Structure 1
Amino acid sequence: MHPLPQLIVALLAGVLMGLGLSVAQMIDPAKVVNFLDVFGTWDPSLAFVMGGGLAVNGLATWFILKQPKPAFAQHFQLPPLTAVDPRIVLGGAVFGIGWGLAGYCPGPMIVSLSFADSAIVTVVGSYLVGTFVTRWWLSKAS
């Protein structure tokens, strides 16, 4: 199968996600920090964005997995593991700490690169260093 249709769909999905994050103001780290500040300047808007995303994704995934195969691939690529193990719990905790400190998760972080200020460049650089260090450490551990 030619990769061009897959690349076009990936591009359109990325543009749609970036647009949604921008419209919902989720590229503003203060929105995340205020969502986490339950006893201060709490802002529940992030919960609505996540809830809407989960609802749409849940319905779309249900519909898509009813198809015999993906539209632009030979087969579905589903995660092989479904159990919760210590690695996923630890990774989630570390991700949560970084998300709370920086106010960015990967999607909004990448969209925010369009601002190209020193703060977002530092966050993206730190994200990349953390990713590469983790990959290196996991390759040594296995």
Structure 2
Amino acid sequence: MSFVVNLMLGLLFGTGLVVSGMSDPAKVLNFLDLFGSWDPSLAFVMGGAVITAFFGYRLVFKREKPVAAASFHLPSSNAVDSRILIGPAIFGIGWGLGGFCPGPALTATALAATGTYAFLPMMFVGMWLARTSTVRRVAAAA
């Protein structure tokens, strides 16, 4: 059942990315270009997401457990470390340079958007490097 729920949520998310224009790197880059051809439309997409998350989290956390899992999986620490600072900085730089983040990049593959086939392999290399460094760090600490 969990697989079906996750599949449906992923399809809904991907459809939202396409409909909102988030899978078009030119639209994203125009949103980030504040002093050029700025396109504010994605601010409405983000605003809608923030409002939905605000009310959604309050609704979901009223439950004892998630619908498709045995328990909630929440972070146990709220400490700010180098990974919390460096990871988002690298993500933001990549998003600004390429116009993609992981979800829209995967969605844009089916649309054959410009740059997708160069971005995706590098995204997977970056994910692999991050996972490898985390596994090594945990092994060294043990």
Calculate the TM-score normalised by the size of structure 1.
Answer: 0.90
Q: Deviations over 1:72-127 (max 9, x none)?
A: 21111112222332211111111000000110011111111113467212211000
Shift of 1:21: 0.8
Determine if the alignment matches structure 1 residue 87 to structure 2 residue 51. no
Q: How does 1:12-27 map to 2 (within 5 A)?
A: 12-27=8-23
In structure 2, distance between residues paired with 1:40 and 1:90:
28
User: Aligned-residue CA RMSD in angstroms?
Assistant: 1.5
Residues 42, 117 of structure 1: alpha-carbon distance in 2 compared, 3 angstrom cutoff: closer
* Alignment-derived partner of residue 32 in structure 1: 28
Shift of 1:139: 2.5
| Mapped contact 2:24–2:113 kept (Cα < 8 A) | no
Runs of at least 4 residues off by over 4 Å? none
Residues 122, 59 of structure 1: alpha-carbon distance in 2 compared, 3 angstrom cutoff: same
Calculate the TM-score normalised by the size of structure 2.
Answer: 0.90
When the two structures are aligned, how many residues end up with a matched partner?
138
| Mapped contact 2:23–2:108 kept (Cα < 8 A) | yes
Determine if the alignment matches structure 1 residue 107 to structure 2 residue 90. no
Structure 1 portions without partners, runs of 5+: none
